[in-house]
Structure 1
């Protein structure tokens, strides 16, 4: 019997394709009906359909970033997603939790723009998911957040996810490890990977208020490691996109003993 530790390269790619197909089918069941997502060709066709969508009809969120701290960003993204109602979450997820990151100071913008969530330090401010036109004035005013520096490895960091005001935890706290691959990854790319993974994990009930996450930044993720409950799958950074080779950019483990 083949175990994760003995998976061939093709076996690893099959596993990653399965995870990517699951994400696409969850957000857009119509893609699963239209394309065979179990095949590389079907996945590629579905991704072409997604790329062809008009920006004008896309639901997106905008995040103003004043100071970047990945652990604080991870916590804020979970808190923000948990604060959204079911309709907002569903619309955002249908467009794959699309998010635009902008460079700016939330403190200087709060009197001109409405934000759905701001982190306690006021370093991050999130707009509610909505039509692209809703954030067009903000996006015209600010430049895209650019952080080209390579993502460093760092010691594990323990994070606690807050419970939204007025809500009670729906279950006992859980602990998971949040793995982020650093090889070939910039700080700006790390924001994108964590944003998609964590927002969708909150929507799926994998993360809720009171939970703890241990953020682990390491060169690469391996399918021979711990069992993962959620993945962020992207084209492999070291190979051309047309090859179809995939890469695990980030992942969230199954529940581990509470730390």
Structure 2
């Protein structure tokens, strides 16, 4: 199994149906026309999400942020997760220092080094004051290349340490800004944790590559969006596998 337009359409359609089953009534989600129509309706709805998460970033070290994001998602209550999934794990990234905000706002999770903190998932109005106070974390620079990096997710408190499950996290970098890359990774990681694909004690090997074209599955997670080069095609921006092979 390799990444193809058929595979990407099928996975994008599955994600839409799982989160919003009523979208199946909008036509054939496996066709690009039907999928585009459903995604356009979602884009309009996303302008006023009911449930969202806010991530405040002081600085960014990608492996550390990936680890902290997974820990945050592991602590989301099932009831909040269900509402958040209906809004497609919508997350707003803001630039700020969590330490300076601790007296005014209650965070759901703070990274061990204090570089990032999360509020929610919760009704959008709960974070309105925080979103008005801080600017968006846009990070227009390109997602940098990097050698493979291993991230170990911490074991659950009080649990016996089991053999780590091995995953590869593949991240496309060509034409992707750091800010956009965070959005793609956030969706993939949080949904993988909520689905049980990623769990406490697992090991992730991060592989940053220009493109995921030629990457072989099976895939345990895919982050898909419109291609940066062709609006009529889809592109995989991040993927999870249990092994890392590319077709030459």
Q: How high is the TM-score relative to the length of structure 1?
A: 0.89
Q: 1:250 aligns with which of 210, 215, 238?
A: 238
Residues 57/143 of structure 1: CA separation in 2 closer, same or farther (3 Å cut): closer
Residues 146/246 of structure 1: CA separation in 2 closer, same or farther (3 Å cut): same
Q: 1:189 aligns with which of 161, 164, 180?
A: 180
Distance 1:173 1:139 in 2: 37
* Equivalent residue, structure 2, for 1:212: 203
1:52: how far off?
2.0
Residues 224/217 of structure 1: CA separation in 2 closer, same or farther (3 Å cut): closer
Gaps of 5+ in 2: none
User: CA-to-partner distance for each residue in 1:216-256, whole Å, 9 max, x for gaps?
Assistant: 100000244342211000100012x3x2x011100000368
Residues 231/54 of structure 1: CA separation in 2 closer, same or farther (3 Å cut): closer
Q: Is the 8 A contact 1:194 1:250 kept in 2?
A: yes
* Equivalent residue, structure 2, for 1:7: none
- Are residues 1:18 and 2:46 paired? no
The residue correspondences of 1:27-176 to structure 2 (distance < 5 A) are 27-53=19-45, 55-165=47-157, 168=159, 172-176=163-167
Q: Is the 8 A contact 1:169 1:209 kept in 2?
A: no
Q: How high is the TM-score relative to the length of structure 2?
A: 0.92
Report SS of the residue matched to 2:64. Answer: helix
After superposition, the CA RMSD in angstroms is 1.9
User: CA-to-partner distance for each residue in 1:142-195, whole Å, 9 max, x for gaps?
Assistant: 0001211111211000001123445x3797530100000000011111110110
Distance 1:19 1:173 in 2: 27
Distance 2:116 2:156 in 1: 17
User: CA-to-partner distance for each residue in 1:199-223, whole Å, 9 max, x for gaps?
Assistant: 0000111100000000110000024
Q: Is the 8 A contact 2:155 2:161 kept in 1?
A: no
1:32: how far off?
2.2
Q: Is the 8 A contact 2:26 2:37 kept in 1?
A: no
Distance 1:131 1:55 in 2: 14
1:20: how far off?
0.8
Gaps of 5+ in 1: 5-10
Residues 62/169 of structure 1: CA separation in 2 closer, same or farther (3 Å cut): farther
1:128: how far off?
1.2
